[in-house]
Amino acid sequence: MQQRVASALATLAPVTDELGALFASAGEELALVGGPVRDAMLGRLHDDLDFATSARPDTTERLLKGWGDTTWGMGREFGTIGARKGEYHVEVTTYRSEAYDASSRKPTVDFGDTLTGDLGRRDFTVNAMAVTLPGNTVEDPFGGVVDLAHGLLRTPGTPEDSFSDDPLRMMRAARFAAQLGFSVAPEVVEAMRAMAGRIEIVSAERVRDELVKLVRAPYPRRGLTLLVETGLADHVLPELPALALEHDEHHRHKDVYQHTLTVLEQAIALEDRLPGGGPDFVSRFAALMHDVGKPRTRKFQDDGTVTFHHHDVVGAKMTRKRMKALRFSNDEIAAVTKLVELHLRFHGYGSGEWTDSAVRRYVRDAGDQLDRLHVLTRADCTTRNKRKADRLRRTYDDIESRIERLAEEEELASVRPDLDGNQIMTLLGLKPGRDVGAAYHHLLELRMDHGPMSEEDATAALLAWWEERKRADGA
């Protein structure tokens, strides 16, 4: 680890050496802290660097203005001044301590005077290490190096004090377990379990941001399992623990909770099919939420089986409600809920009986989420029956090849009627209104059913529909 730190600091020297000398010349202390130090010990490099200093914000801002390409002070109330120089993004924060009172959603901030005091307020020992500058001396007052070597998350002080100061740290424990693949110390898990309800005082936006980082991490199953086992998920994502439906000897259905986590992992394994690759939050969160409608739609049958009719529609509504509560953007909500609502559509395909019309509608309904729907649908197969799994894979291969063929022939991604709105109004002598919309919809349905039509055929079909509509209205 010492060699890794030395190598990382050599790479960062243009920034760390300059800043260390700059603050020292002003009579102030400066140290590289937190994630960059931890990741340096893991052999990872950062261009986002966090520093702690004895300097107050006004002094920090003055020093950074003379050094950086740009500076900003949006975090001033928390003691943080930011700067950018070249490719490096730097945040320098005054030594501080912070805590929540019993009802506040925002921490109160008091500036401190020592590096050790500042490190002691941090979330976990692996994030409570520093490298003082200049001189590049490692400071590790809480045993973070040993915990890092053992892959263990512990708090610098008691976990109860840490989580009382900032309840979001419980979410961060799950997130770091997912990001680093680390275990969480038993006393930390027990404190999370005992204090889970305190997460309610943290803003939805902060909870959402931690959840996104967890889901996008390399090992999200670790973090999600920890949220469920400690009861935190009951407060931040209650739909997930609700999937752990009780089983009995008379009713047969797969473990929906474990199935969901497996679908998530299989979706991650398929992310190379997506245009942007991964990690892809929308695809992963849709996998996590795709079956949340099952508990509300479960029905027991006389033959011992269990049904979950319409759980796709119910699940989409539940997903929308949860994502709104967590303050996700409208675009993210629309994308995830569309995938949840459509995740069963493929199973109506049977062994390949869909008409071209049905394939067109599948593509139209999926819209810009088609690639993600392919991933989710394939990931949703968790059967241990190899013959069944192979059959489902071959069937989906077939529908994808048909989509590709029709896309080449008909530009499926932008399916529109063969006449536009202006042509419709001219042919029927109409002004903009409901009749034009109805005509447009009729031609779109024809396009879906029969594929592209010539302008002559589309015109004849429109006029015939219009005459029939007028006769019906007259009747």
Distances (CA, A) of 131 to 20, 30, 37: 11, 9, 7
CB 196 within 8 A of CB 159: no
What is the share, in percent, of the chain residues with pLDDT greater than 90? 55
Each residue's pLDDT tens digit, 109-122: 778 889 999 999 89
Distances (CA, A) of 1 to 4, 46, 394, 396: 5, 16, 48, 48
Each residue's pLDDT tens digit, 395-414: 888 888 888 887 776 555 55
Considering only the C-alpha atoms of the chain, give the largest distance between any 2 of them, rounded to a whole number of Å: 93
451 alpha carbon, distance to own chain's centre: 37
CA distance 22 to 64: 9
Q: Strand 152-153 relative to strand 183-184: parallel, antiparallel, unpaired?
A: parallel
**What pLDDT is attached to residue 251?**
44
Each residue's pLDDT tens digit, 54-103: 999 999 999 999 898 999 988 888 899 999 998 999 999 999 876 556 66
Asked whether the predicted pLDDT for residue 416 surpasses 50, the reply is yes
Each residue's pLDDT tens digit, 249-284: 444 556 899 999 999 999 999 999 998 888 999 999
Buried b (16+ CB within 10 A) or exposed e, 81-103: bbbebeebebbbbbbbeeebeee
**What pLDDT is attached to residue 32?**
95
H or E segment at 442? helix 434-450
Higher pLDDT, 342 or 43: 342
Asked whether the predicted pLDDT for residue 360 surpasses 90, the reply is no
At 16, which amino acid appears?
T
CA distance 291 to 92: 44
Q: Name the CA dihedral angle for 119, 121, 127, 129, rounded to a multiple of 10 degrees.
A: 10
DSSP per-residue codes, 146-159: HHHHHTEE--SS-H
Q: In this structure, what DSSP letter does residue 128 have?
A: S
Each residue's pLDDT tens digit, 433-468: 888 888 888 888 887 777 778 888 888 888 888 888
Whether the bond between 279 and the residue before it is cis, its omega within 30 degrees of 0, is yes
Q: Which of 47-51, 235-239, 360-364 shows the highest mean pLDDT?
A: 235-239
Mean pLDDT of 135-149: 92
Query: Which region holds residue 131: left if phi is over 0, alpha if psi is between -120 and 50, else beta?
Result: beta
CA distance 228 to 457: 59
CB 168 within 8 A of CB 199: yes
What are the structural domains, with CATH classification, of the chain? 1-150 (3.30.460.10), 152-237 (1.10.110.30), 250-414 (1.10.3210), 421-474 (no CATH)
Mean pLDDT of 467-472: 82
